[in-house]
Chain A
Amino acid sequence: MADRPAPARRILVLLTVLAGLAGLLPDPARAVLPEEVLANPVHEARARAISKELRCVVCQNQSIDDSDAELARDLRVLVRQRIVEGDSDDEVIAYVVSRYGDFVLLRPPVKGATLVLWIGPIAIVLIGLLAMISYFRRAGREAERAGQ
């Protein structure tokens, strides 16, 4: 006889699935205030893209695009100012990095000091795979020998 889930459990499952789906939707809550938004939609889109790459140095685990911190707000305004004044995306980011260092980049650049961040996980997975393969090969050979 099939085991039927109790109603409470069914609701729980449904809620979990819904919560998972909600995570796929774009987040409607934004820290960007209406008065910050630039009139030119192309400029605004660039500002949003840049802001998503920059860490809020006060809250640290949010981008300045997400953060309600005052310093994040001032940085968003500064990003927009520089875009309006004609800076390229790279120039804007370089300006902020020159003040706060690579730390403000949510995606650390690939270079000597950060190489271990980028290569490390891949290297560990590879080592694990190699160890697994050699283990199973040996186990297979031993099983063969035992079977003879």
Chain B
Amino acid sequence: MSRRFLFLLPLVLIAALGIGFWFGLQRDPQALPSALINKPVPEFSLAAIEGSARGFRRDDLLGKVSLVNIFGSWCVACLIEHPFLMELKANGVVPIYGINWREPNRRAGPEWLDKFGNPYRFVGDDPRSEGAIAFGVTGAPETFFVDRKGIIRYKHAGPITRDVWESKLWPIVQRLRAES
């Protein structure tokens, strides 16, 4: 009985592989898992951008739930989320810190912020990717959710839209705040 259907085995195996690959292809290969989730923010210290008195370093993040956003004037998707970040700032929802990644020159970042508004508490200048590599960044924009103890709890890759914020990101902030 079982031997008679053995010829079907390769077909079943191929079908299983096919289904596996089909689902594999739906996944975004650019969406990498962050190695830093539930790890403390690595030591880093970035200089101030031009026209600003203060840079941004690890210790700025201790004691409260905060967001760290990687952006650049060259980054088109950053401009998409920018108005929403401004809104978060205007409503005092959560402090956002900026890493100004790989500007072509020292004026580009500050000019971009002057033109569109500055949603950040502090901004660190990151021309050599030191801050970006510390956070394991692969592209901009990326946003890290850091808890009170300075531990990275979540990474969002791509622009923050109102939809994602309301359905996914705001609940995360609330959850982190509820922790002691």
Contact = CB atoms under 8 A, between A and B. Distances in A.
B136 A99 contact: yes
Interface in B118-175: 128-130, 132-139
A71 interface: yes
B146 to A, nearest CB: 16
A99 B133 contact: yes
Interface stretch (B33-41, B81-89, B91-99): B33-41
B133 A74 contact: yes
A77 B132 CA distance: 14
A100 B29 contact: no
Nearest to A75: B133
A118 interface: no
Given A70-B102, A71-B129, A60 B29 contact: yes
A101 B33 contact: yes
A84 interface: no
A92 interface: no
Contacts of B33: 101, 103
Interface in A72-117: 74-75, 77-78, 97-103
Contacts of A97: 35
B129 A74 contact: yes
Nearest to A100: B136
A71 B132 contact: yes
B42 interface: yes
Interface string A52-64: 0000011010000
Main secondary structure of the interface of A (DSSP, over half): helix
A98 B129 CA distance: 16
A100 B32 contact: yes
Given A98-B35, A99-B135, A101-B136, A77 B128 contact: yes
A101 B147 CA distance: 21
A71 B139 CA distance: 9
With most chain A CB atoms within 10 A of its CB, the pick from B33, B132, B136 is: B136
A103 B32 contact: yes
A106 to B, nearest CB: 15
Interface string B15-53: 000000000000001101111100100100000000000
Interface of A: 57-58, 60, 70-71, 74-75, 77-78, 97-103
30 contacts: A57-B32, A58-B138, A60-B29, A60-B30, A70-B102, A71-B132, A71-B137, A71-B138, A74-B102, A74-B129, A74-B132, A74-B133, A75-B133, A77-B128, A78-B129, A78-B130, A97-B35, A98-B39, A98-B42, A99-B35, A99-B36, A99-B42, A99-B134, A99-B136, A100-B35, A100-B136, A101-B32, A101-B35, A102-B35, A103-B33
Enumerate the 9 nearest inter-chain pairs by beta-carbon distance, A residue then B residue, closest first.
Answer: A101-B35, A74-B129, A99-B136, A57-B138, A100-B136, A100-B35, A103-B32, A74-B128, A99-B133
